[in-house]
């Protein structure tokens, strides 16, 4: 019998769980670090934290689902994993900057922070879309044939989400304001709404 050659595998799964956990914890710490002046302000703070929480949880659920199937067989996949984890780790920081800067006093800083957040989310969605693209390739045989159509829908939706976040970097999404808030912030809600709609429609199609 020939000797079995064992090859070391990177512990990406453990690292990813740690980083996602830390990102969620940092978001919670930023929430309790600000004392609300009114009950309404407290509700606003919770709503803002809820947005970041839903974003990170959605990314984590999609990521763990993908990585449970996608093999770490190339340096490109490992590299994209590390980039994704970096983007996850800075998401709470960039989101926090968007909620502490005042539009009237720190317009330039808020504009820059919101653009960076949009680019961060674009990168997250794009990497998840590329990973899902690999799962949806029928010739690779990574998932059952009856799941190919599902992963293709997920892939397409992630590319749409990436495009939606990317387009908000344009100045028009900062210059147009609704209730004294740039359109950019409202536009970020669209991926969450579409994600929920895609999940519901996917369940009905099964």
Q: Which residue pairs, CB below 8 angstroms and at least 24 apart, start in 59-66?
A: 59/20, 59/88, 59/124, 59/128, 60/20, 62/128, 62/132, 62/154, 62/158, 63/16, 63/20, 63/128, 63/131, 64/16, 66/128, 66/131, 66/132, 66/135
Share of the chain above pLDDT 90, in %: 33
The model's pLDDT over 44-63, given as tens digits with 9 standing for 90+, comes to 888 888 888 888 888 888 88
Burial class of 160 by CB neighbour count within 10 A (0 to 12, 13 to 18, 19+):
middle
Residue 192: pLDDT over 50: yes
What pLDDT sits at residue 121?
A: 96
Burial class of 80 by CB neighbour count within 10 A (0 to 12, 13 to 18, 19+):
middle
Higher pLDDT, 29 or 206: 29
Residue 142 belongs to some domain of the structure: yes
Residue 3 belongs to some domain of the structure: no
Overall number of domains in the chain: 1
Higher pLDDT, 112 or 10: 112
**Spacing of C-alpha 192 from chain mean position:** 10
What pLDDT sits at residue 89?
A: 92
Residue 6 belongs to some domain of the structure: no
The first and second tokens of residue 57, run together, are 């949880």
What pLDDT sits at residue 35?
A: 74
The model's pLDDT over 130-186, given as tens digits with 9 standing for 90+, comes to 999 888 876 666 777 777 888 888 889 999 999 999 999 999 999 999 988 899 999
Residue 50: give the domain boundaries. Answer: 12-205
Higher pLDDT, 157 or 32: 157
**Spacing of C-alpha 99 from chain mean position:** 18
- Other C-beta atoms lying within 10 Å of the C-beta of residue 193: 9
Lowest mean pLDDT among 69-73, 76-80, 144-148: 69-73
What pLDDT sits at residue 159?
A: 94
Terminal-residue alpha carbon distance, the chain? 47
3-state class of 170 per DSSP? coil
What pLDDT sits at residue 165?
A: 96
Residue 18 belongs to some domain of the structure: yes
The first and second tokens of residue 182, run together, are 């740039």
Q: Say how far apart CA 19 and CA 5 lie, in whole Å.
A: 31
């Amino acid at each position: 019998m020939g000797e079995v050659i064992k090859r070391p595998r990177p512990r990406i799964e453990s690292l990813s769980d740690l980083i996602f956990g830390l990102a969620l914890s940092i978001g919670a710490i930023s929430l309790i670090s600000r004392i609300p002046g009114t009950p309404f302000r407290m509700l606003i703070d919770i709503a803002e934290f809820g947005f970041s929480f839903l974003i990170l949880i959605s990314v984590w659920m999609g990521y763990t689902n993908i990585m449970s199937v996608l093999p770490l067989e190339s340096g490109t996949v490992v590299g994209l994993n590390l980039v994704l984890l970096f983007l996850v780790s800075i998401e709470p920081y960039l989101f926090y900057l968007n909620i502490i800067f005042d539009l009237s006093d720190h317009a330039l800083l808020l504009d820059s922070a919101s653009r960076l957040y949009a680019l961060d989310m674009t990168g997250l969605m794009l990497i998840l879309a590329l990973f899902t693209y690999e799962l949806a390739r029928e010739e690779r045989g990574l998932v059952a044939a009856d799941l190919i159509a599902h992963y293709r829908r997920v892939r397409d939706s992630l590319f749409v989400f990436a495009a939606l976040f990317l387009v908000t970097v344009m100045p028009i999404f900062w210059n147009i304001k609704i209730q004294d808030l740039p359109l950019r912030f409202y536009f970020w809600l669209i991926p969450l709404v579409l994600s929920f709609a895609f999940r519901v429609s996917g369940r009905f199609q099964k």
